[in-house]
Amino acid sequence: QVRLVESGGGLVQAGGSLRLSCAASGRTFSTLRMGWFRQVSGKEREFVASINWSGLTTNYADSAKGRFTISRDNAKNTAYLQMNSLKPEDTAVYYCAGGVAAWPIWGQGTQVTVSS
């Protein structure tokens, strides 16, 4: 069973940067597609970015394109989300997820707060 633990969230001013990490336990990380999602209280969880098992294919929500970069290091069992030019509307709890065809594995989330 793979477990995911996010870290790297915090408080940052608008225009700043943060890098989120998602550390995975278990030996199947390198076979999983990994994704980042975010959720604002009272709203539905939304897709941010995903990366395939090899790291060669990535996808981004329109809101993330040009500002966020998803990556992974299979040797370290870790996925990352580099977030630049942060905006107050990026404030949310960020979750990493893993899976193949769906997203059955989720971390506990890390809070990102962007002040104006």
How do residues 36-93 score in pLDDT, each as one tens digit?
999 999 999 999 999 999 999 999 999 999 999 999 999 999 999 999 999 999 999 9
pLDDT of residue 18: 98
pLDDT confidence bin for 22, thresholds 50/70/90: very high
Contact 50, 99 (CB under 8 A): no
Q: In whole angstroms, give the CA distance from residue 11 to residue 50.
A: 24
| Cα radius of gyration (the chain) | 13
- 26: pLDDT strictly greater than 90: no
pLDDT confidence bin for 1, thresholds 50/70/90: confident
pLDDT of residue 27: 77
